[in-house]
Structure formats: structure tokens, C-alpha cells
Structure 1
Amino acid sequence: MSEVNNPKNRTLTLERTFDAPIALVWEAWTQSEHIAQWWGPKGMETKVLEHDFKVGGNWKYSMRMPDGNEFISEGRYIEIVEHEKIISTADFKPMTEGVEIQAIFKADGEKTHFTFNCVHETEEYCKQQEQMGFYNGWGSVFERLNEFLS
């Protein structure tokens, strides 16, 4: 594989350890009523418009920013392994489109180690997304998830 198309060069990753058992973290990721409570950066309100949690199923969320502007995040589930991983396509219009997101879960006693990968089509697009605030934005989302799990 050439280094130009190597997925590791096109992937941004965040890792967290949640002080919650894997079953609870999984439920937060897979149940519409829970997703609406934490998905999106701080200050955003999320409404689940569609959530067909199965391989090939679609998800679609509307997120309202504090200034009243709204944007849509949506995708299709590619792979689901219970209590292990959720992989889907994702578009966060108009900021990010055509990415794959990977949520990886690993039990650690009563805690859950969580890895989030966002795979971009090109290395250039990946770098652009990082500069646009990937780590701050998603970091804020996972802070909200951590608070929700508490």
C-alpha cells in the first residue's frame, strides 16, 4: 500500500476512558433517546430524525447551534459488533462530508476504553478537518457523553 493512500495518514483519533460499564456506554451510543442528550458539541441541541440501528440502516440528526442555525449530521451503518464497534459513513453538512467514523469499545472492568476514528478520503482533507477544530469539537462531544454517563 502506498503511503499516499494509507488510512493511518487520513485518520484523526480521539481516545477516552469512561467511568461506566461497556453496556451503559453502548446503550448511550445506540438508543435514540440517549443520543439526543449528548451528541454534538456543548451548547448544541440535537434532535434524532432517523435512527435505524442495523447494518445498512441510516441515521440522521439535526443539531441546532446557540445562534439558531441548524445543520444535519447523517450516515449509514456499515458494521456493528455489539459492545465492540460501530462503523458508519458520515456527513456533517456543510462542514465535513464523505468520512467514515469508527467507534471502538473495550471493557476494562467497570470502565470502558473508547477509541473514535474519523477516516477521511484524502490526507489533505484530513489535515484540513484537523485545522478546522476536529479535536476541540469531538472532544466537547465526548465530554458531554462522559457527563451523560455519570
Structure 2
Amino acid sequence: MTKNTVNEVERMVITRVFDAPRELVWKAWTDPKYVMQWWGPKGFTSPVCKIDFRVGGKFLCSMRSPDGQEFWNAGEYHEIIPHEKIVSSMYFADSQGNKVEPEELGIEHEAIDGAYDVTLFEDLGNGQTKLTFIGNEPMESAKNSGQVEGWNQILDKFATIVQGLAQSK
């Protein structure tokens, strides 16, 4: 078994299989009009999402909590292999995309030095796609801080969007 590691630290890895073609899963993951529908855990909305989807391009998305508090994430794309792989950096930000340290927001976050987020899209045949998200944080701290739970809630919302797109094809 191969671990997804940088410096031998086990990284957060979350995998889902969708009953939809890879191109459709890719579209739901990369098109801001769909990202706004699934970005953020259960109960959160995303009123703003700007994506310059190219290597070197940046993104900026907001998450609004049920009580109206806003959180911003921004990042940059480092590698894009269409319908297969996205490598990106992501960080907490202000509404202008400027980096904000997690501690300033009262958020516990431990990143692995030199690690980027990696999203893989694998065609399983029979109209199914496997999505694997590899985060830039250690699995143990991601579990303890609630990030694994949050990403699973995000992927639950994402699954609903993918299912709707697949049914409308």
C-alpha cells in the first residue's frame, strides 16, 4: 500500500465514486457556478466564487455560515491535466484574496511543508468516476480539527450537484 505522503507524514485523503462521466464530475468541480452550490460544509452557502482556471490562475471563494459569518479561501493552480488531475494551493484569505493566517481566524490548521492539494479524477468505466482529494494537511490533525468531516459534508453536497447534472444530460 502506498501512502500519500510528503516527508513521510500521512496526508488527508478522501475518495468518492460518482455515477457520472468524468467530464461531468470535472465540470462540477471547476465551474464557479457549480462550485458555489457545493463549497462549504452542510448548512453553509457560497455567495462568491471566482476562478481563473489555468496554471498560475487564482481562485477566491467565500463560505457563509448559517449565522451569517463569512470565511474566504483563495489559492492558485499549479498543475492541470484536463479531466485527470488538479494540483493547487489553498489558504484562508480575506475578501480580496490576501492570505490570512488560520490562527487570526481562530482556526486550527496544520499544513505539510511543500505539500499541495491534489484532486484526481479517474474514469472507472460504466459511467462512474472516482474522485480522490489529497489535502495538504496531516490526516490525524485533519480528523481532530474537523476538516475530514467538513470535506465529507462538502462532497455530499457535491454529489447532489453531480447527480443533478447527470440526470439533466
Which TM-score band applies after superposition, normalised by the shorter structure?
0.7 to 0.9
Q: 1:49 to 1:134 in 2, by over 3 A?
A: closer
- 1:47 aligned partner: 47
> How many correspondences in the alignment?
142
Q: Is the 8 A contact 2:35 2:49 kept in 1?
A: no
Following TM superposition, by how much is the alpha carbon of 1:6 offset from its aligned partner in structure 2, in angstroms? 3.8
**Alignment map for 1:1-150 (pairs within 5 Å):** 6-92=6-92, 93=102, 94=105, 95=107, 96=109, 100-109=116-125, 110-120=127-137, 127-150=140-163
Following TM superposition, by how much is the alpha carbon of 1:29 offset from its aligned partner in structure 2, in angstroms? 1.0
Gaps of 5+ in 2: 93-101, 164-169
Matches of 2:57 and 2:6, distance apart in 1:
28
AA matched with 2:75: G
Q: Is the 8 A contact 1:11 1:118 kept in 2?
A: yes
Q: 1:74 to 1:10 in 2, by over 3 A?
A: farther
Structure 2 SS opposite 1:45: coil
Q: Is the 8 A contact 1:36 1:46 kept in 2?
A: yes
Q: Is the 8 A contact 1:102 1:117 kept in 2?
A: yes
Matches of 1:15 and 1:128, distance apart in 2:
18
Q: CA RMSD in A?
A: 1.9
TM-score (norm. length: structure 1): 0.86
Q: 1:6 to 1:88 in 2, by over 3 A?
A: closer
AA matched with 1:61: C
Following TM superposition, by how much is the alpha carbon of 1:100 offset from its aligned partner in structure 2, in angstroms? 2.3
- 2:97 aligned partner: none
Matches of 1:6 and 1:87, distance apart in 2:
14
Q: Percent identity?
A: 36
Matches of 2:18 and 2:30, distance apart in 1:
16
Gaps of 5+ in 1: none
TM-score (norm. length: structure 2): 0.77
Following TM superposition, by how much is the alpha carbon of 1:129 offset from its aligned partner in structure 2, in angstroms? 2.9
Matches of 2:85 and 2:123, distance apart in 1:
12
**Higher-strand-fraction structure:** 1
